[in-house]
Amino acid sequence: MNAIYHHFIIRAELKKVFDAVSMPKHLVQWWPKTCKGVPARGEEYNFFFEEPYDWYARVSELEKDKFIYFKMTKSDPDWDPTTFGFELVPHEKGTYLKFFHRDWPEANDHMKYSSFCWAMLLDGLRNYVEKGLVVPFEERE
């Protein structure tokens, strides 16, 4: 199986970063257009981007302020077998975020494009948490 990894520092406390990657009201500030879900193991999230991208995932692992993993349940055929997640580690400058998106069936063009998109979106996450900047949904990759 294939995977995407992005690791970087966010100059903010763990709780603030965890909320930004787990709470729908914060997720919509840097990733989907709308989002519903509860950060608890086994709970379902709905990540809506635009038609036909109305995707669902289940929280497969979670420890508050440490990590959250999402197992895709209804999405694109390439994404359906995948799990993505955020692991947070205390760092002298704030929080070290370790992002993964694994279990891709092929290292195809879609996976490579998704890696680029994740990098751009995660930069948006960093700017949102550190500076309160929000990129309008229509301008996100």
For 126-137, give the DSSP string: HHHHHH-----G
Q: Read off the pLDDT of residues 124-136 as tens digits, 9 standing for 90 and up.
A: 999 999 999 999 9
Number of domains in the chain: 1
Q: Read off the pLDDT of residues 17-74 as tens digits, 9 standing for 90 and up.
A: 999 999 999 999 999 999 999 999 999 999 999 999 999 999 999 999 999 999 999 9
CATH number at residue 126: 3.30.530.20
Asked if pLDDT for residue 141 goes beyond 80, the answer is no
Question: Does 96 reside within a domain?
Answer: no
Question: Does 70 reside within a domain?
Answer: yes
Identify whether the C-beta of residue 111 lies closer than 8 Å to the C-beta of residue 1: no
Q: Read off the pLDDT of residues 104-125 as tens digits, 9 standing for 90 and up.
A: 999 999 999 999 999 999 999 9
Question: Does 110 reside within a domain?
Answer: yes
Question: Does 53 reside within a domain?
Answer: yes
Asked if pLDDT for residue 140 goes beyond 90, the answer is no
**Of 101, 97, 108, nearest to 84 (Cα)?**
101
Integer CA distances (angstroms), 90 to 6, 48, 54, 98, 118, in order: 16, 31, 34, 11, 22
Question: Does 84 reside within a domain?
Answer: yes
What is the domain extent for residue 120? 33-91+105-131
Q: From the DSSP assignment, how many helices (H) and strands (E) are in the chain?
A: 3, 7
Question: Does 60 reside within a domain?
Answer: yes
Question: Does 51 reside within a domain?
Answer: yes
Give residue 1's pLDDT. Answer: 85
Question: Does 12 reside within a domain?
Answer: no
Identify whether the C-beta of residue 64 lies closer than 8 Å to the C-beta of residue 18: yes
